[in-house]
Structure 1
Amino acid sequence: MAQTHEWMFYEVMWRGWAGREGVPYPVPWWAQANFRHWSDDFDRGTYESKEAAFASNALYRYWHMVGVKDHRQESLIGQAGEIEPVYDKYCLSFFLYDPVAGQLHLPQLPHTDGRNSGPPVEQRMEAPHLPVVLTTFRAPNGVEFVQRTFATALGARQRDVTVTRLTVGTPTGEQREGWLCAAVLPAGPSGFQRHDRNGRQITDRRLTHLRYVPQEARVETNSGWGPLFDTAPAEFGVYGNPDFSLDPDAYLRRSPFHDLAGGGKLNGAPEAQDQVAGLCSAVFAWPFRVAQDEVFALDVRLPVDLYDGPDDLEELRSVPAADLEAANRAFWDAKLLHQGVQPQLPSPVTHLTDMFRQSRSQLLVLSDHGEIHPGPTVYDSFWIRDSSVEATACSLVGDGALAGRQLGTHYPLKFNRGGGRIGPCAEYGFFGGPHEKDDREWDSNGQALWAIGRYDRTQGQAAAFGAKLYTPYVVDGARWLRDNRDGYGLLHSGWSAEHLGERDKPHYWDDLWGLAGLYEAARLAERLGAPEVPELWGAFDDLKAATAASIRWVLAEQARRGEWETYIPTGPGDVGRRDSTMIGAAAYFHPLRLHMGSKLGDDIDRAARYTLDTMYGRFVTGGFRHEAAWNAYGPYLTMQLAHAYLLAGDAEKMDRLLGWTVAAAFPRTQERAVALGAWNEQHAFPIASDYAEVPGRHWYMGDIPHGWAAAEYLLLLRDILFFEADEDRDPHLYLAPGVRPHWVPDGESVAVDEAPTLFGAPFGYRLTHNATDHTVTVEITRAPSQVRFVYPCRFGTVLQAWAGRQPLEAIGNDVQVPAGTRQFMVEYG
C-alpha cells in the first residue's frame, strides 16, 4: 500500500510528464526514464508498492557529484543542472522564461527549432581532475545559459558551501530579453523519498514548509537553510497546498510554472506549506537583456553545512564567488596535477590518465573525515569491505595519508571487544559495524588484515604502521578467523557482498579473503619478529587446507555430474551453479593474488584460470553481465575480471574489458550525458543500450560515483603500468604488463614517477617505442633496492634484449632484468 505522499508524487510526475495541464513541468530525467517503459513490476522484497519504488528512484540512479575533500556532505547534479545537497530537503534548478511569448524553456524538456548552435543541453566536467560540473542550456529563442557548479570550504571553520554561477547570453549576438528563473523543488537527481520495508527513510526530500526571506535574499526549506542569492530576484512566488487537496492535478494548476505560462506572473507569496505530500515549490526570477558580448550573471550559494544566525549569514557572503571558484581550482590543481602518482600515457590513451585523476578526486570527495564511503546517498556509510580496497588504492596512488587515517583510526573503531555472539560467531575480535553484523559479512576480518598488511608494506619498516596495530587488532582479528568457522573449516554462511548470491549459503569469497588476511598477518608478524608467527601460519594453513579440500570436492562433484566446463562456483552449497555469481572467484587473482606461489595448489590455480574463461565466455557482452543477482552490468566487477586477466597474463582480454568500462563511465541516451566519467555499482541495461534493452523484471541500482569502482580503476591502471610480485621471497616488478601495442605510437612513451610500491620505496620508469627499428627502450628512473624486473613485451616476439653490453634472458616474451639495471633495450619481430 503506497503512502499518500508517494502516490501523490508518482501522479504529479506522471501527469506533469504527460502534459496533463498543458504546461511544461520540470520532471527529472530519472522519472522520464521510468515513464519511457513503465512496468508495474518492482522489487517487492524491498518496497511495499510501485509508487514507493518509484519515489525512491530504484532504477536510474545516475547523476554527477561535487563535494569537498574529507567533508561529510556531497551535492548531486542532475542531467539538467539540478543541484541536490544530499542531506538537505530541496533541489535547485534553473530555466528560462520568455514573458513576451509566455513560454517556459526547461532544460528537463529541451527542444530546438534549428537556431541553436549546439545540442539544447550539454554537460561536462570543467576539467577531468576538477569536480566542477558545467551545464549549458540553449533555448529555441536564441538565449542560452551556462551554469558552473562546485563545492568548497568557507571561513575559519572551513564549512561546506556549494556554489553555482550562471551567465546568460546570446550566441547569435542579437539582442534578447527574458527572465532567468530558479526553481526550488522537493525532488532531485536521487529521487523523492527512499522508504523501504525495513522502515529506513534513507532519503526524505519532502518539502512541507517553504519560506523566502526577501531582506536576506535567502530561502528556508523546512527547518534548514536553502539557497542564498547574491543578487535578489525581481519576482518570486512560493506555492504549497493550503486547502489540503488530494487532487494531483491541483499541484499542476497551483504551481509557479502554471502561473508563468498562463499569465506571466508569480504569486508573490513568501511562504507556503504542504502537509499532504510535501511538494512545496518556489520560483525566483531575474529579468535580463543581453546582446553581443553582453551577459547577465548570477551567483547562488547553497549552505550544505550547518549554518544558523546572522553571523553565519555574513560569513557565507563574505567571500566573492569568483574568489571561492579560484581557490577551489587551485586546491584541486595542486592535489591532482602535482601530488601523487601522475601516469604519463601516449596520445591514443591520454583519456585513461584523465579518468585516473577523476577517480582520485571522487575518492577524496567521498572521504568523510578519513572514512571513505562507497557512495554519496544510500551508500554514504563505512564498510570494511569497500574501504579495504579504497584505502589500498589511495595508498598506491599517492594519497597515503588518507589511507593511514582510515586504517589506523577508523578500523580500530570497528573492532569489536564485546563478549557476545553475532549469529554463530564470537563478537570479540570481529571487524565490523552494523552493516557487517546485520548481514553476517564474514569477509571483513580478512579484508581488514589484508589492507593493514599491504599498507604496512607500502609505508616501509621505518613507519612501523603495522606494529602500532599488531596487538590486539591484527593478532586477535586473525584468531577470530581461526576460531569462527563451520564444521568443514570454512567461514559461515553470510551475505558478504550481494553480488555473490544468497545470504543463507557459504561463499568462497569469504575464505579467499580470510586466507589473504591471514597471510598478511603472518608476514607482518615475521617482519616484527613477533612470537605469534607459528600460530598465525598455523591458522593460515588450516584455512588453506579446508578451502582447498572444499574446492576440490566441488570440482570433482561437478565432473561426476558431467559438467564439461571447469569453474569454481560461488560456494560449496552451489555445486553445479553455473551463473554469474561465480565472479567471486576473480578475487583469487585480484586483489588477493593467491595465484602467486600457487597458494592453494597448482590444480586449484588452474581451475581458477579456467573459471575466468568460463565467466568471460558466458557472462561478458562488452562488460560483465550480472543477471543472477543484479540484473545489470557490473562496472567494478568488470574491472575485477579485467584485473584478474592482467595478472593471469592475458592482456588482450584485459584491454577489451577496460575499453567497455571506460565507455560505461560516459553513457549517453538521446544526446543526454547521463554520467560524466563515473560508474554506478550497477550499470542498467536500458542506459547501456540507449533503451534498446529493457529487462522484463526489475533490477538493482546503486550509487554513483561508486567508491569501490573508482578504486578498482585506480588499481587497474596502476597495475597496467607496473605491479609487484613475490614480495617475500623473490621480489620483482612487472614493467608495463598491460600496455598494449596500439597504445604507444612510434616515438611516444609511457612513464610513471615516484610511485609508491609494496616494497616500501618509490618506483619510476619511462618506456619509449621505436616502431621503425622495432625496439623498446626502458629507463628505470627510481627503484627499490634488491628488486629485479620482468618486462613482458607486448609488441611482438622478443628477438634480443640487452642492458649496456650485457644480453638479457627472455623466457618466452618475458625479458628478465637484474636488480640495479638503469636502462635496457628490447628488439622484437
Structure 2
Amino acid sequence: MARTHEWMFYEVMWRSWADRARVPYPVPWWAQTAFRRWSDDFDPGTYESKEAAFASNALYRYWHMVGVKDHRQESLVGQAGEIEPVYDKYCLAFFLYDPAAGTVGVPQLAECGTVTQRMEAPHVPEVVTTFRAADGLGFTQRTFAVPVGPRQRDLTVTRLSVTGAGGPPREGWLCAAVLPAGPSGFQRHDRRDPNGTDRRLTFLRYLPDEARVETNSGWGPAFDTAPEYYGVYGNPDFSLDPATYLARSPFHDLAVSGKLNAALQAQDQVAGLCSAAFAWPFRVAGDEVFEVDVRLPVDLYSGAADLAELRATPAAELAEANRAFWTAKLIGQGVQPGLPDPVRHLTDLFRQARSQLLVLSDHGEIHPGPTVYDSFWIRDSSVEATACSLVGDAALAEHQLGTHYPGRFNRGTGRIGPCAEYGFYGGPHERDDHEWDSNGQALWAIGRYDRTAGRAAAFGAKLYTPYVIDGARWLRDNRDGYGLLHSGWSAEHLGERDKPHYWDDLWGLAGLYEAARLAERLGTPDVRELWAAFDDLKQATAASVRWVLDEQRRRGEWETYIPTGPGDVGRRDSTMIGAAAYFHPLRLHMGSKLGADVDRAARWTLDTMYGRFVTGGFRHEAAWNAYGPYLTTQLAHAYLLAGDAARMDALLGWAVSASMPRVDDRAVALGAWNEQHAFPVASGFTEVPYRHWYMGDIPHGWAAAEYLLLLRDILFFEADEDHDPHVYIAPGVRPHWVPDGESVTVEDAPTLFGAPFGYRLTHDASARTVTVDIVRAPERVRYVYPCRFGSVRSASADGRDVPVSGDDVHIPAGTRRFEVSYA
C-alpha cells in the first residue's frame, strides 16, 4: 500500500504533467519519461507499491554529477540544470518569467524552449546548462563544487547569466525554485530499508536578512544577491486533495496572477511537498549580462561566522580555482593517453572517468555511486583502486587498500553463515549478503598494488600479517564439500544468492595467486602453504567446470559455455557473464592456470555470450532486464586479452555511446555510465520492456574504473610478470584509429613491474610501416607488438632485423626503437 506522501507526489506529478499547457511546472525528466510510457508494473520484491517505485525513481536514474575530491557528499545535476545535494532535502531549479506576457518558461518542458548541456571541459567537473525560451530569451547556468575556507568545507556553486541578444532591451525575471524532488527522485525506500532516506520537505523558510533558505532543519541555498520577489508555499490546512498542491504553487501564482505570495515560511506535514520561488528582475540590452550567483552549503555550516566564510570568496574566483585544480590534477598529473583525432574523444572520456572516481572517493574510500551506492564494497573498490593505481592516482589507491581494507578485516570468533568470521574481508554488504568473492578481491588488489608501487614502497610487507596470510587461510578453510566457495550473492549480476558461483572461485584463485607471489617476494615461510591452497582451489574449480561441461554435452548442448555456477548446468542465459572475469581482470588464461581445456571453454563462452546477448552492448535480461555498461566493458576487455581486437572495438564503441545518451535531443548523461542502461533510453524509446527493470547509480565507479583499465590496456598491458616479463604494445589500437602520419603516445604510465613505461607509435600509411620509440621502460622487460594494420613482412629493433612469425612481433628487452613493415 502506498504511503500518503508517495501517493500525493505521484498525483501531483502526473496532474502537473497533464496540465502543463496551462501552468508550466518543472516536472523532472525522469518523471516525464515514466509518464511517456506508463506501466502499473513495478518490482514488488523491492517496493511496496507503484507509487513507492515511482517516488524512488526506479526506472530512469540518469543525471550528471559535481563534487569535491575526497569529500563525502556530491551534488547531482538534472537534464534541465536542477541541482540536488545528495543528502540535503531539496532541489534547486531555475526558470524564466515574462511579466509582460504572463508566461512561465521552465527548462524541464520542451514546450517552453530548448536546453543544451555540456561539461566545461572533459577534465573539469562543471556542468554548463543553457536554456533558450521560445521568445529567444534565455540563460546559461554553470554548476561546480569547491572546498572553501580554512577548513576546506564543501560548497556547490551555480552561476547564472542572462545575456542580451544584441538587439533592443529585453526584460524579465530570472527565477529560482526550491522543490522537494530532484534528479534522483522524491524519496527512496524499499523493503530492505523501509525507512529509507526521508527527503520530504516539510518545513521551508526564507531569511531575507541573510538572503538564504532553511529547508527542514538544515541550510538551503544562499543567494549572493537578494531576490526582489519571493514566495514560500505549503499545505497549512493539512489538505489531502492533490488539487490543493497544484493551486498553491509559485508556478500557478505566476501563470495566473503574475506574482508570488511574499510568504516567508510554510509547512506541509501531509506530503512534504513544500516549495518556494525567488525572482530577480532584469533588463539587458545589446551584449549586457545580468548575473546571479547561488551557493549550496553541502557540508555542515551553522551560524553567522560560517555564513560569512561561505560567502567570503567571490564566485568567479571559486570557478577559476575549480578549473585550475582539475587541470593540474588530470592533465598535469597521471597517465596522459595521446590518441589521434579519430579517437581523441577516448582520451576525453578517460579524464572524465578519472575525475568521477576522485569525486566518488570519500576520504579515501571510493564508493560506487553518489546515492544508493554511496558506501564501501570490497568488490567494487578492488577494481577501482587498481584502476587508480595504474592511471596515476596511486595515493588514493594506497589509502583505500592500506587503510580501509584493514578496517573491513573481521577479527571476531563467530560465524557468518557457513563460514568463519575471522579472516573474512567485509562490512555489512559482504556479511549480510554472503559475498564470498571479497577475500579474493582484497588479496588480488593488495598484491597488484604491491607490484605497482615497487619493492621500495614495501606495501605488501606492511599488510602481509595478518591481512594477507590470514585472508588467504580463510579462502583455504571456508569452502563447501566440493572444494568451492559456498553459495552466496556476491556480484548481483550473477543470479540467485542460494547457489554457488564460479565468479567467487575465480576471484579466490586470483587472490591466492597474488598472495603466494607476495610471499615469494617477501621470502616468508608461508610460500608452500599458499601455493598448496591455490592448487587445491584450482583443482576443485577446474574439476567442477569440466563436470559441468561434460554434463551439458551429455544433455545435447551444441554450444560450449561455462554457466554462472555448478548449480546451473544448462543455464544458457546472460548470468554466464561472470566467466569473463577468467580473462579480465584475473588473467587466469595467462599460463593456462586451470588447464588448456578450461582456457578453450572460457574463450568459447565469450563467443556464446557475444552471439546470444550482445546487441551493440551486453544485454543482461536474466537479472537486470537492461544493458550492462560495465559488463560490456568487461567483455570488451576479455576480448582484448583473448586477442580479438575487432570485437573489443565494437563493444568499446557501444560503451562510449552509452556514456552520452540523448533522448528527444536532450543530453541524458554527459560522459558517465549507470550500473544499468535502460532499454528505452538506449533505443530512443523504440524498445520498452513489458516488465520492470533494475537501475543503479550514475556515475558508476566500477564502470568508470573498467573504462580506465580498458583504455590503458588497449595502449599496453603486462604479461608473465614473475617469469618472463613482457609488455604488449598497442594491442587494441585499431588501424582506423591512426591515420597517416599520426601517433599514439603514452608517457610515464605506472606498471606492474614497479617502474613507469612510455612509448610513441607513429604510422606511415604510404610506406606501410609502424615505428615505435620506447621513451621509458622498466629494466629487463621485453615487448610484443601485435600488428593490427596488416600481415607483418619484416621488423627491426634498433636497426637489427628480428625474426618474424605471425603478426605478433617479439622485440628484445632494452630496445629503444623498432620498426614493423606490413602488407
TM-score scaled to structure 2, two decimals? 0.99
Match of 1:293 among 287, 298, 307: 287
> How many Å apart are 1:195 and its aligned residue?
1.0
> How many Å apart are 1:608 and its aligned residue?
0.2
Q: Secondary structure at the match of 1:811?
A: coil
> How many Å apart are 1:200 and its aligned residue?
4.1
Q: Partner residue of 1:32? A: 32
CA contact (8 A) 1:121 1:672 kept: yes
Q: Secondary structure at the match of 2:193?
A: coil
| Corresponding position: 1:692 with 2:692 | no
Equivalent-residue separation in structure 1 for 2:344 and 2:423 (angstroms):
45
CA contact (8 A) 2:154 2:298 kept: yes
Match of 2:151 among 153, 157, 160: 157
Q: Secondary structure at the match of 2:177?
A: strand
Give the unaligned 5+ runs of structure 2: none
Q: Secondary structure at the match of 2:111?
A: coil
> How many Å apart are 1:790 and its aligned residue?
0.2
> After the TM superposition, which residues 181-196 of structure 1 pair with which residues of structure 2 at under 5 Å, given as runs?
181-196=175-190
> After the TM superposition, which residues 218-237 of structure 1 pair with which residues of structure 2 at under 5 Å, given as runs?
218-237=212-231
> After the TM superposition, which residues 282-681 of structure 1 pair with which residues of structure 2 at under 5 Å, given as runs?
282-681=276-675
Equivalent-residue separation in structure 2 for 1:385 and 1:64 (angstroms):
24
Equivalent-residue separation in structure 1 for 2:678 and 2:90 (angstroms):
26
> How many Å apart are 1:20 and its aligned residue?
7.3
CA contact (8 A) 1:24 1:257 kept: yes
Percent of aligned pairs with the same residue? Answer: 81
CA contact (8 A) 2:798 2:816 kept: no
Equivalent-residue separation in structure 1 for 2:523 and 2:25 (angstroms):
69
Q: Partner residue of 1:170? A: 164
Q: Partner residue of 2:85? A: 85
> How many Å apart are 1:172 and its aligned residue?
5.1
Give 1:11's aligned amino acid. E
Cα 1:291–1:390 shift into 2, 3 Å:
same
CA contact (8 A) 1:142 1:170 kept: no
Give the unaligned 5+ runs of structure 1: 113-118
Give 1:83's aligned amino acid. I
Equivalent-residue separation in structure 2 for 1:10 and 1:718 (angstroms):
45
Q: Partner residue of 2:269? A: 275
Give 1:135's aligned amino acid. T
Equivalent-residue separation in structure 2 for 1:200 and 1:345 (angstroms):
49
> After the TM superposition, which residues 140-155 of structure 1 pair with which residues of structure 2 at under 5 Å, given as runs?
140-155=134-149
Deviations along 1:468-500, whole A, 9 cap, x unmatched?
A: 000000000000000000000000000001100
Match of 2:806 among 800, 806, 812: 812
Give 1:15's aligned amino acid. R
Equivalent-residue separation in structure 2 for 1:523 and 1:158 (angstroms):
42
Cα 1:513–1:382 shift into 2, 3 Å:
same
Equivalent-residue separation in structure 1 for 2:774 and 2:272 (angstroms):
63
Give 2:623's aligned amino acid. A
Cα 1:20–1:74 shift into 2, 3 Å:
closer
> After the TM superposition, which residues 56-75 of structure 1 pair with which residues of structure 2 at under 5 Å, given as runs?
56-75=56-75
> How many Å apart are 1:202 and its aligned residue?
3.9
> How many Å apart are 1:198 and its aligned residue?
2.2
Equivalent-residue separation in structure 1 for 2:321 and 2:386 (angstroms):
29
> How many Å apart are 1:205 and its aligned residue?
1.6
Q: Could you list the structure 1 runs, at least 4 aligned residues long, displaced by more than 2 angstroms after superposition.
A: 170-174, 198-204
Deviations along 1:672-726, whole A, 9 cap, x unmatched?
A: 1000000000000000011110000000000000000000000000000000000
Q: Partner residue of 1:13? A: 13
CA contact (8 A) 1:748 1:769 kept: yes
Q: Secondary structure at the match of 1:215?
A: coil
Give 2:60's aligned amino acid. Y
Deviations along 1:66-105, whole A, 9 cap, x unmatched?
A: 0000000000000000000000000000000000111000
Deviations along 1:10-67, whole A, 9 cap, x unmatched?
A: 0000100010793111100000000001101100000000000000000000000000
Q: Secondary structure at the match of 2:110?
A: coil
Give 1:265's aligned amino acid. K
Q: Partner residue of 1:245? A: 239
Equivalent-residue separation in structure 1 for 2:20 and 2:30 (angstroms):
19
CA contact (8 A) 2:799 2:818 kept: no
> How many Å apart are 1:131 and its aligned residue?
0.3
> How many Å apart are 1:810 and its aligned residue?
2.5
Equivalent-residue separation in structure 2 for 1:4 and 1:390 (angstroms):
40
CA contact (8 A) 1:376 1:703 kept: yes
CA contact (8 A) 1:21 1:253 kept: no
| Corresponding position: 1:763 with 2:737 | no
Between 1:167-176 and 1:102-111, the stretch displaced more is: 167-176
> How many Å apart are 1:174 and its aligned residue?
3.1
Equivalent-residue separation in structure 1 for 2:602 and 2:368 (angstroms):
28
CA contact (8 A) 1:229 1:300 kept: yes
Q: Secondary structure at the match of 1:591?
A: coil
Deviations along 1:175-216, whole A, 9 cap, x unmatched?
A: 210000000000000000111112344432210000000000
Give 2:12's aligned amino acid. V
| Corresponding position: 1:255 with 2:249 | yes
CA contact (8 A) 2:97 2:175 kept: yes
Give 2:55's aligned amino acid. A
Between 1:167-176 and 1:730-739, the stretch displaced more is: 167-176
CA contact (8 A) 1:193 1:201 kept: no
Q: Secondary structure at the match of 2:127?
A: strand
Cα 1:21–1:616 shift into 2, 3 Å:
closer
CA contact (8 A) 1:81 1:135 kept: yes
CA contact (8 A) 2:81 2:93 kept: yes
CA contact (8 A) 2:166 2:287 kept: no
CA RMSD, 1 decimal? 0.8
Q: How many residues align?
A: 823
> After the TM superposition, which residues 56-135 of structure 1 pair with which residues of structure 2 at under 5 Å, given as runs?
56-111=56-111, 120-135=114-129
Equivalent-residue separation in structure 1 for 2:531 and 2:652 (angstroms):
37
Q: Partner residue of 1:707? A: 701
Equivalent-residue separation in structure 2 for 1:634 and 1:474 (angstroms):
32
| Corresponding position: 1:22 with 2:18 | no
